Structure 1
Amino acid sequence: MNDGSTDNPDNLRVIKTARTEEAINEGARAGFRPLLMRVEPSAEIRSKFCVWQNSLTREIQVVGDYRGGPRDDGKWDKVLDWTDYYPHTFPQPFAAYLIPPDIRRGEKVFVEDLIEDFVGMSWNQGDNYRLPSSIAMWDGHKLRIQYDPEKDRRRVVG
């Protein structure tokens, strides 16, 4: 499943995200102001899976779509039932937006790697995918993500 994304049609200035101590310090040395935030997974973002195992070969098949799975030839057993999980991992429990020194209050920018979890796509089977990027506005202290669930959240049936 594609998780949806926001593009940068107005060619706004791009704000980079640093996700490790080394990357944050590198940005600071380059003149950016690291805007540090905790990485806090949202309970709304989730995927699902179940695991089938072949009783003859012992091979497994991981399925993420309720309509999927091995063909029913009697050789497959469901060994892990449907389970929801948070599908992302990040290198640190914090990250930073690298804010340019010349940014102006009220300036609209494009954040290419959101730290916060916003739902970008919902699948009618229960999965919700992260919005990877968004437009934001600098208020002089922080980035105000311009997220509108009616506009930015796609809904997929299938």
Structure 2
Amino acid sequence: MIYDAHSSALYADDGTFLHTVYCPMALTPDQLDALYPDSGDRHCHQCKRRIHRLDGLSDEQAKALFRADPRACIFSTEKARNIVFLHRREQREGNREGLPVIRTARNLPAMKAAHQQGFRLLLREVGTAPEEGEIKYIVYQHRHTGEIWWSSDLRDAYPIERWSDQDPEAWELVKNWFYARSDQPFPLAAYLIPKDLPPHTSVFIEDVIEDERLMSWNQGNSERIHATEGFWTGSALRLGSFAVEILPPARTG
């Protein structure tokens, strides 16, 4: 099999498209539960689904899996010898220094799950939100805990009731009403900062949110950074040698 890390597309060796690899919770294999003694498959505690391990499967076995369940969830490990991984240069070279890894969540349920697991959320906007879409959102983040709250109902546009005893200033607006579409990236993403990560730590950012330029050529075309080393100051994240400070629109919790 062949996996294109840029498009998340999985192909058979003969070029036949098999599956788009996508996790709505943005989980990685080490965040899945090994509950099946008879196989290397794992269990997702968020979606309550079995996640099939591709390591060792032939193309025909993979095709049979997706015929039986077109929405099957899958994963593989670095031990897979039956899969060729196509990476961009900086993703292929990867975390050569073995630095702590900063992951990225690209939807609201994944952000909520990450916060519940103890991560700090640094929220960032992704591109330009569409002018119309299938669903609309308003998003807040708690200044002290880092918890996020969102609504898709114009009648329910604030995290707490106005007459509540809670401090109304505790919640900070991250992004006012905006649309989202399933065929476009979600307009918000978040870097997941481990709570025990010390300040002034060099890190590896495996999925860069910002459109930072990697290179450009004489006709103005350019290529963006997809993964890079960075630096955690304790309150902000800096991207590699570009020294771009990433300040969250709401405080980290």
* TM-score higher than 0.5: yes
Distance 1:143 1:90, change over 3 A: farther
The match for 1:145 is 239
Higher strand share: 1
User: Among residues 85, 90, 110, which one is paired with 1:5 in the alignment?
Assistant: 90
Distance 1:3 1:123, change over 3 A: farther
Q: For residues 46-61 of structure 1, what are the structure 2 equivalents within 5 Å?
A: none
The match for 1:136 is 230
Aligned pair 1:112/2:215, yes or no? no
Q: In the aligned structure 1, how far is the partner of 2:209 from the partner of 2:184?
A: 10
Query: TM-score if structure 2 supplies the norm length?
Result: 0.36
Question: Is contact 2:213–2:225 with CA below 8 Å preserved after alignment?
Answer: yes
Aligned pair 1:38/2:132, yes or no? no
The match for 2:103 is 16
Structure with higher RCO (Cα < 8 A, 6+ apart)? 1
Q: In the aligned structure 2, how far is the partner of 1:108 from the partner of 1:90?
A: 32
Q: Give the letter for the 1:133 counterpart.
A: A
SS in 1 for 2:230: strand
Q: Give the letter for the 1:132 counterpart.
A: H
Q: Give the letter for the 1:14 counterpart.
A: V
SS in 1 for 2:208: coil
Question: Residue 30 of structure 1: CA displacement?
Answer: 1.1
Question: Is contact 1:117–1:131 with CA below 8 Å preserved after alignment?
Answer: yes
Question: Residue 126 of structure 1: CA displacement?
Answer: 3.2
Aligned residues: 101
Aligned residues: CA RMSD: 2.3
Q: Which runs of 5+ in 1 are unaligned?
A: 42-88, 150-158
The match for 1:97 is 191
Question: Is contact 1:137–1:144 with CA below 8 Å preserved after alignment?
Answer: yes
Q: How many percent identity over aligned positions? A: 41
The match for 1:75 is none
Residues 101-132 of structure 1: per-residue CA shift (max 9 Å, x gap): 10111000000001111111324443211110
Question: Is contact 2:204–2:227 with CA below 8 Å preserved after alignment?
Answer: yes
The match for 2:216 is 122
Q: Which runs of 5+ in 2 are unaligned?
A: 1-86, 129-182, 244-253
Question: Is contact 1:3–1:121 with CA below 8 Å preserved after alignment?
Answer: no
Q: In the aligned structure 2, how far is the partner of 1:93 from the partner of 1:99?
A: 20
Q: In the aligned structure 2, how far is the partner of 1:13 from the partner of 1:90?
A: 30
Q: In the aligned structure 1, how far is the partner of 2:213 from the partner of 2:226?
A: 9
SS in 1 for 2:112: helix
Question: Is contact 2:126–2:185 with CA below 8 Å preserved after alignment?
Answer: no
Question: Is contact 1:3–1:129 with CA below 8 Å preserved after alignment?
Answer: no
Residues 20-59 of structure 1: per-residue CA shift (max 9 Å, x gap): 0011111111111111111247xxxxxxxxxxxxxxxxxx
Aligned pair 1:29/2:123, yes or no? no
Question: Is contact 1:134–1:147 with CA below 8 Å preserved after alignment?
Answer: no
Q: Give the letter for the 2:115 counterpart.
A: A
